[in-house]
Amino acid sequence: MIRHETQIPPPEDIYPIDEWKIVETQFNPELMGQTETVFATANGYMGWRGNFLEGKPAVQNGTFINRFYETWQITYGEAAFGFAKTGQTMVNVTDGRTIKLYVDDEPFDLMRANIAKFRRTLDMQNGTLEREVLWETPGGLLVEIKSKSMVSFVHRHLGVIAYSVKVINSDAPLAIASIVRGTQENPVSEGDPRQSRGFIKKVLLPEQDSSDGMRVILNHITDASRMRIACGIDHEIETECPVQFRSRSEPDYGEVVFDVQAKLGRPINLTKYVTYHTSRTADARELRTRAGRSLDKAGTTGLYTLMAEQRNYLDDFWARSDVSVDGNHDFKIRRPKEVQQALRWNLFQIIQNSARVDGCGVGAKGLTGQGYEGHYFWDCDIYVMPFLIYTNPQIAKNLLLFRYSMLDKARERARAVNQRGALFPWRTINGEEASAYYAAGTAQYHINADIIYAMKKYVAATNDREFLRTKGAEMLVETARLWLDLGFYSEQKGGAFCINGVTGPDEYNTVVNNNLYTNLMARENLLFAAETVSQLREESSEEYANLLRRTNVREEEIAQWKTAAEKMLLPFDEKQGIHLQDDGFLERKPFDFENTPKDKYPLLLYHHPLVIYRSKVIKQADVVLAMFLLGDKFSFEQKRKNFYYYDPLTTGDSSLSACIQSILAAEVGDPELAIRYGLSALLMDLADIGRNVKDGCHIASMGGSWMVAVYGFAGFSDCNGKFAFNPRLPKEVEHLSFHLMLLRQRLHIDLHTGYTIYTLERDGTGLTIEHKGNPVELEPGTALKLE
Amino acid sequence: MIRHETQIPPPEDIYPIDEWKIVETQFNPELMGQTETVFATANGYMGWRGNFLEGKPAVQNGTFINRFYETWQITYGEAAFGFAKTGQTMVNVTDGRTIKLYVDDEPFDLMRANIAKFRRTLDMQNGTLEREVLWETPGGLLVEIKSKSMVSFVHRHLGVIAYSVKVINSDAPLAIASIVRGTQENPVSEGDPRQSRGFIKKVLLPEQDSSDGMRVILNHITDASRMRIACGIDHEIETECPVQFRSRSEPDYGEVVFDVQAKLGRPINLTKYVTYHTSRTADARELRTRAGRSLDKAGTTGLYTLMAEQRNYLDDFWARSDVSVDGNHDFKIRRPKEVQQALRWNLFQIIQNSARVDGCGVGAKGLTGQGYEGHYFWDCDIYVMPFLIYTNPQIAKNLLLFRYSMLDKARERARAVNQRGALFPWRTINGEEASAYYAAGTAQYHINADIIYAMKKYVAATNDREFLRTKGAEMLVETARLWLDLGFYSEQKGGAFCINGVTGPDEYNTVVNNNLYTNLMARENLLFAAETVSQLREESSEEYANLLRRTNVREEEIAQWKTAAEKMLLPFDEKQGIHLQDDGFLERKPFDFENTPKDKYPLLLYHHPLVIYRSKVIKQADVVLAMFLLGDKFSFEQKRKNFYYYDPLTTGDSSLSACIQSILAAEVGDPELAIRYGLSALLMDLADIGRNVKDGCHIASMGGSWMVAVYGFAGFSDCNGKFAFNPRLPKEVEHLSFHLMLLRQRLHIDLHTGYTIYTLERDGTGLTIEHKGNPVELEPGTALKLE
């Protein structure tokens, strides 16, 4: 029985098939929350939800700056020692986008307007969001409104809007008001822990405002966290029609108004530049200057160059990162081109939300919505990092540097929960634990091992030993210390090293003993720490001296880590022949799947946590995830057994499961199931499977979609730095191709039904891979076709 | 190793020995919080903390009315389905006690006054709190101030203060201002979950005020819960000195001021009557009338009669309830008379906090402080009820009626956490669950069985079958249904009935499987339900028809309850030969007792819950409590083994443990340990062992002290309605005597070293008991001496 059946996406063809675009051909007010996420544009530093330029209608008119947040004191029903104290919530910052249009004094308002034509396009090659509207005013004027906006990948502080108006059937007076406002809409939601808590009161307070020519700059400061932000707008206007403008500013509001005597058929072209600078990356006193400089530079560069740079950036991105998929059979209810489109949109959202991170992570929703309050979780390390490591390793490195920058906070956190070493926060923006519910938060100690896992993968794929020696080693020492201190040698378990009272990935089985995933991942962490520190020590390098200074690591610790790893308990049930998710998993009460109607899912919204926790029911792939991440630790037969035991117990209540279930289904030889789960991962957002896309995209499932293609169907594996392929295309996929960066060389993998062509880029140095279990030497610039 | 060693009370002889009084011979400002609890007076309906009449200095100037509370929305760091929504906090109501004295315009203020003599006495025979002060004013006047106050046991809405002033060495003008105020001091505390959360803003809002002659009445209403309260004061003054008075009132404040030309050596005697009525027991529109009527009645009755009635009430109480103890050896650091005094004070506080309950429970702190927010827990059912059942059965019945009145709310609560039947709230005032932390709250499902256990004991001791048939049966059906629905037959455990995901009494091991205490107590609950319903059905009585109407109980349910009881899993470790506190107890990580300094206790204030939960460390007696409550389910040898296994793992972090540990130590033949723990229970408050007496008394430990004497040293047992004694006086106790009400007859048990004398009251009907395992027939009016 496949629980996931309940989650198969409805066939909603609201986005017509287009391999490189997401198009909306009519105004769908009832889908507005969803499309605000789907049409979001971002660059990892700043993000714009897919709102209309008029500012409304909107579910949430949102602009987010990564790591720009407000703090607040967490209130508990009943507090206890060591509970996280300070909440962090991403602030919806100054709105710099709004452009209002008045034709013959009639305001353009999508909700009331008579719309003769509507088309919105997210162009994933150009990196732009375009809209074309034909508006028939009550007075009978036909007005064409075109816009194209983008968040620049090249200039991370910059957004650009090209706005064009034309009255088709008459002359007419019109006004264009370009606005900047400190509205700060962070709506408060209740009853769904996955949403953000929002703010009841205004927390983004005006500090300064100025207007000068066509330029307005507003400065704000957050109430409690005291973070400062400047938002500047500037304009260029180009038209044959007579035009006058005036600008003004006041605290929290600024505008530049263009009064135009529009002539029949003559376009009025307005370019609006929007820039953000915050006190996180600039001196607080210089924010206005920096905003001004960015606007100067944008004006000098000009719209057309900015657009061209954007295209170049994405051409380069796609060359490295695209996954091309094709076939002649439908994927269940989806056509191959539809799959191609969805896959590209997923990858496009990843680059949008990670390209320009710097001292930041990638939140669970990226910058597309305020769900989960903009917090960074393990989603990035485990689900997004593989894609970045193998296609955009520099971004992967930036994310690791960010984790490293949080190490001191992690040391403090370990202390705060009575442990040695370092404990990375389960959810955070600023490095402090912000989880206010330990059972499905703080108890997920596996975050430590997840971060190390990503780091190890990065080092193995890029051979960036320098990162490992100068930063990774220090992270390894402190995380290994945490594990050693957390676990213990249990007499009751024959002297095995046990880790009790933790929560694994699955949040429906909390505070358990010996979670298989945690123990396996901790073991990797311990071993990698021992290996790395040993090597450094042997080499007696400067880095080792440095490590000693920073961690005072002792020789005996290395041995202790190894022993703990060797003796690590890996729970297994002999009778059923399966690995146990945790010691007590089989003892849970069978869950009454039969009498639980579909509308009682996700379970967490309809059942007391205790009811869920005592039941044999799973939210997130847990053993199954371990079998994917540490695939070489399980035999094929064992994977099959485990997979078919746990899969029917797994609800579709988490967006983190479907991709992993798909990969394992592919691996154990169940292509039909692999396709089904794969589609679920792929369409998580475009088909709004979780019914919460309005709160932002599911960034983990996006990385997961890439993994389904690469690890699942191409059968890629990368355990311990060995790169292997075991292609297993399902019948629906007749052709699948993509690039991977392996040891700094670009490899093209081109899979067809029955054969695979490997092509190592011309300026490579040669590479050994495995194909279907056999070692293969690849020469630079040569294509190798293998059956 | 006895953990409890760390908790042995310091020898603080702040209260000189007096068998019937608690006396304070000097003003101790540093002990004020503590003495406010120790000198509290109450009657179960209303309570006055032991404050000074001047209203200050005070840690908390407190007046509480049982079940008069404010509600508020519970805020969670991260909420989830089924979490309790509405908080309830006992309100510190209108202060009617304050009397301020001005002599020659100099205010009397204990903190600044030159005190020549100070003596405060809680008289446990008269039920009064007296104070004598000799004050030397800056002007050299010697003023004698005497007061005697009481909360009437006979007139539950009434408090009385007899206040007397005399200037000894001169004539002098003086003023006495008798005040009533809506101050509502509920201070907010942070960091200690055992304290109350208090209120930041004023929640007791003035509604009405009036003054007339020497009478003032203030009406208030609580902000959110909309409960109304009237507090009235009235006065009589008797003096040979010239006196004038004036009264006035305003919202929130009223006063009657007496201006007196005091003559040398002539006393001014003021009697102040204070009354409270609330909308819980009176029509809201009649509150003023009711207050007026109470004041009229008090005035008519007069001070002396009121005092005499109080004495009569307590004479009767002590005749039924006193435990007399004597010996020639010191109890460790305490003399026998000191033990006697402490024991009486404990019993006195119980009657003070339960005598006039009606539609209310007894809070964990009674009415002596706002700790635990005035909530009712299981403390009352398990720790206080035995004393009341055997000495004051009418009060026990009232408390059971109160639990019964909450049955509908308990049905709703079961539904709210996805269960059938009824689930009584872990903590509550109004019947709704108010626990905001499920791990040590909602998960303590054992509350259901605790209430039923108390009910069964009451029925067995009183033979009140009528209560059982008309109300108990309904409680039994719904609680049994909860257990059947909560547990399940586990394949993994050979078909045994398992109850997973619950917390037993021990709050350091939470959300566990098959907590022995819970399973044993649930089994009793199921069996008693089956037995009771079967009997009712066989008798085809009207009560059965009534039960059917109310519960729609089906015949097959009876069989299901029996089967579940029969198959109930009772975890036992064959290897060590001990019962397990829960399935996973032995698998916990050993706690590092050695390296945990004394100042890191109680552990909960210095360790993250996860650290505690994964450790083999115990807060509350759990298996040991089960062995006490269900003594007939364990062999002597098993008790010994279990006791010596669990005792060293038990911290003194809960006030609920020492009494139980003492009883079991006595039972397994360890009198020295029994004395040590017994003293801990007995002196919990008087020696401020938990360092939190300022927040209110530990009502459970008070009931526990009685149990130590009766169940522990007299070896009383009452399993299944069989009354047995197995005297085991330690060498320190040469004489112990007390009365028990058994089947509506009063039995005097008089224990001496080497023999026991049983005397059944004259108008009894005869009784069978067991003495040292042998049945003994007792005839009314005859003393039987047995070795």
Comparing CB atoms, the residue among A78, A418, A513 nearest residue B611 is A418
Cβ separation B193–A78 shorter than 8 A: yes
Q: Do A511 and B613 touch (CB under 8 A)?
A: yes
pLDDT tens for residues B595-632?
999 999 999 999 999 999 999 999 999 999 999 999 99
The complex's ipTM works out to: 0.93
Q: Strand pairing of B228-239 and B268-278?
A: antiparallel
**How far apart are the C-alpha atoms of A723 and A705, rounded to whole Å?**
20
Cα B240 from chain centroid? 44
Distance CA(B75)–CA(B85), nearest Å, equals 8
DSSP three-state, residue B81? coil
Alpha-carbon span A139 to B169, nearest angstrom: 101
Measured CA angle at B646 (ends B644, B649), to 5 deg: 115
Looking at the DSSP bridge assignments, the partners of residue A89 are A70
Neighbours of B499 (CB within 10 A): 26
Task: With cut-offs at 50, 70 and 90, classify the pLDDT of residue B195.
Answer: low
Check residue B1 and give its pLDDT: 38
* Residues of chain A positioned with their CB less than 8 A from the CB of B502: 610
Taking CB atoms and an 8 Å limit, are B583 and A587 in contact across chains?
yes
HSE, side-chain direction, 13 A CA sphere, residue A657: 27
- Which residues, 6 or more positions from B683, have their beta carbon under 8 angstroms from its beta carbon? B9, B334, B342, B689
Tell me how close the Cα of B497 comes to any Cα of chain A, in angstroms: 11
Amino acid at A400: L
CA distance B350 to chain A (A): 28
Q: Which string of DSSP letters, residue by residue, matches A489-523?
A: EETTTTTEEE--SB--S-TTS-SBSS-HHHHHHHH
DSSP class of residue A10 equals: P
Alpha-carbon distance of A399 to A447, in angstroms, equals: 15
The catalytic residue positions of B are 507
Task: With a cut of 90, say whether residue B706 has pLDDT above it.
Answer: yes
Beta bridge partners of B177: B100, B257
* Interface contact A588-B500, CB threshold 8 A: yes
What is the C-alpha separation between A330 and A345, in angstroms, rounded?
A: 19
Give the best residue of A188, A373, A587, A615 to mutate against chain B (max B CB count within 10 A): A587
Chain A neighbors of B609, CB-CB under 8 A: 80-82, 438
Query: Distance between CA A182 and CA A407 in Å, rounded?
Result: 34
H-assigned helices in A25-104: 32-38
**Pairwise CA distance, residues A95 & A252, whole Å:** 10
* H, E, C per residue of B452-498: HHHHHHHHHHHCCHHHHHHHHHHHHHHHHHHHHHHCEEECCCCCEEE
pLDDT of residue B194: 61
Contact (Cβ atoms closer than 8 angstroms) between residue A383 and residue A450: no
In 3D space, the residue among B591, B435, B614 whose CA is nearest the CA of residue B511 turns out to be B614
Contacts of B439 in chain A (CB under 8 A): 439
Contact A587 B513 (CB under 8 A): yes
A587 and B492 within 8 Å at the Cβ level: the answer is yes
Positive or negative: CA dihedral B602, B607, B608, B609: negative
How far is CA B630 from each of CA A96, B383, B517, B614, B720, rounded to the nearest angstrom?
71, 14, 9, 28, 9
pLDDT attached to residue B11: 38
pLDDT digits (tens, 9 = 90+) for A119-177: 999 999 999 999 999 999 999 999 999 999 999 999 999 999 999 999 999 999 999 99
pLDDT band at B191, cuts 50/70/90?
Answer: low
If you write DSSP's letter for every residue of B599-626 in order, what string do you get?
GG-SGGGTS-HHHHHTEE-BSS-SHHHH
**Neighboring chain B residues of A588 at a CB cutoff of 8 Å:** 500
The tens digit of pLDDT for each residue in B352-406 reads 999 999 999 999 999 999 999 999 999 999 999 999 999 999 999 999 999 999 9
Cα three-residue angle A510-A516-A522, rounded to 5 degrees: 100
SS (H, E, C) A694-750: HHCCCHHHHHHHHHHHHHHHCCCECHHHCCEECCCCCCCCCEEEEEEEECCEEEEEE
B352/chain A closest Cα distance in angstroms = 29
At residue B3, the pLDDT reads 45
* Min Cα separation B84/chain A (Å): 9
The pLDDT score that the predictor gives to residue B335 is 84
* Contact at CB, A79 and B191, closer than 8 angstroms: yes
Tell me whether residues A193 and B82 touch, CB distance under 8 A: no
DSSP string, B149-174: EEE-SSSTTEEEEEEEEEESSS-EEE
Q: Considering only CB atoms, which chain B residues are within 8 Å of A587? A: 490, 492-493, 498, 500, 513, 583
DSSP B86: E
Give contacts of A611 with chain B, Cβ < 8 Å. 82, 417-419, 501
Residue of B nearest to A418 (CA): B607
Which residue does chain A place closest to B82, by CA atoms?
A: A608
Question: What is the pLDDT, as a whole number, of residue A600?
Answer: 94
**A93 Cβ neighbours under 8 A, 6+ residues apart:** A63, A64, A65, A68, A184, A204, A220, A229, A231, A276
Would the CB atoms of B610 and A442 count as touching at under 8 Å?
Answer: yes
* Whether B84 and A74 lie within 8 Å, measured CB to CB: no
Q: Are B371 and B48 in contact (CB under 8 A)?
A: no
Task: Judge: B76–A79 Cβ closer than 8 Å, yes or no.
Answer: no
Query: How far is it, in rounded angstroms, from Cα A423 to Cα A525?
Result: 13
Comparing CB atoms, the residue among A77, A490, A513 nearest residue B76 is: A77
DSSP B265: T
Q: Which residues from chain A sit within 8 angstroms of residue B440, using beta carbons? A: 78
Residue B142 contacts residue B133 (beta carbons within 8 Å): no
CA distances from A420 to A479, A555, B349, B633 (A): 9, 17, 46, 44
B315-336 mean pLDDT:
89
Compute the mean pLDDT over every residue in chain B, rounded to the nearest whole number: 95
Residue with tokens 């809405």: B157
Looking up tokens 């370092």, which residue turns up? Answer: A422
| pLDDT at res. B541 | 82
What does pTM read for this prediction? 0.94
Q: Is the peptide bond before B775 cis (omega within 30 degrees of 0)?
A: no
Q: Is residue B108 a contact partner of residue B102, using CB atoms and an 8 Å limit?
A: yes
Compute CA distances A566 → A13, A519, A626, whole Å: 53, 11, 18
SS3 call for B6 = helix
Task: Classify residue A579 as left (phi > 0), alpha (psi -120 to 50) or beta.
Answer: beta
A488 contacts in chain B (CB < 8 Å): 589-590
What is the model's pLDDT at position B174? Answer: 97
Average of pLDDT values for B440-447? 97
| Chain A: closest CA distance from residue B87 (Å) | 9
Supply the DSSP string of A353-382, one letter for each residue. Answer: HHTT-SS----TTTTS--GGGG-B-HIIII
Handedness of CA B543, B544, B546, B551 (dihedral sign): positive
**CA–CA separation, B754 vs B619, rounded Å?**
37
- Which residue do the tokens 């869920």 mark? A612
Which residues, 6+ apart, have CB-to-CB distance to B433 below 8 Å? B84, B413, B416, B425, B426, B427, B441, B442
Rounded percentage of chain B residues whose pLDDT exceeds 90 = 91
pLDDT in tens, B520-542: 999 999 999 999 999 999 997 89
State which residue of chain B sits closest to A72, comparing Cα positions. B77
Residue B38: both structure tokens together: 């120790």
3-class SS of residue A65: strand
Per the CB < 8 A criterion, the answer to whether B432 and B413 are in contact is: yes
Query: For residue B576, what are the CA distances in angstroms to A350, B504, B516, B638?
Result: 56, 22, 16, 11
The number of angstroms, rounded, from the C-alpha of B217 to the middle of its chain's C-alpha atoms is 30
Closest A-chain CA to B607: A81
- Report the distance separating Cα A547 and Cα A539, nearest Å: 13
Read off the pLDDT band of B190 (50, 70, 90): low
Q: What is the pLDDT of residue B209?
A: 97
Strand arrangement of the beta sheet that strand B215-222 belongs to: B21-24, B114-123, B128-136, B142-151, B158-167, B268-278, B228-239, B215-222, B204-212
For A354, the token pair is 């990670």
Name which of B436, B438, B414 is nearest B424 in CA terms: B414
Contact between A610 and B442 using a beta-carbon 8 Å cutoff: yes
CA distance A200 to chain B (A): 14
Nearest-CB residue to B587 (from A191, A438, A492): A492
- Examine the pLDDT at B334 and tell me if it is beyond 90: no
List per-block mean pLDDT (blocks of 10 residues) for chain A, which spans 787 residues.
43 77 93 95 98 95 97 92 95 97 96 96 98 96 98 98 97 98 74 65 94 98 97 98 97 97 97 98 94 98 98 98 90 83 97 97 96 96 98 98 98 97 98 96 97 98 96 98 98 97 98 98 98 94 94 97 98 97 97 94 96 97 97 98 97 94 98 95 92 94 98 96 95 96 97 97 92 96 94
Catalytic annotation, residues of A? 507
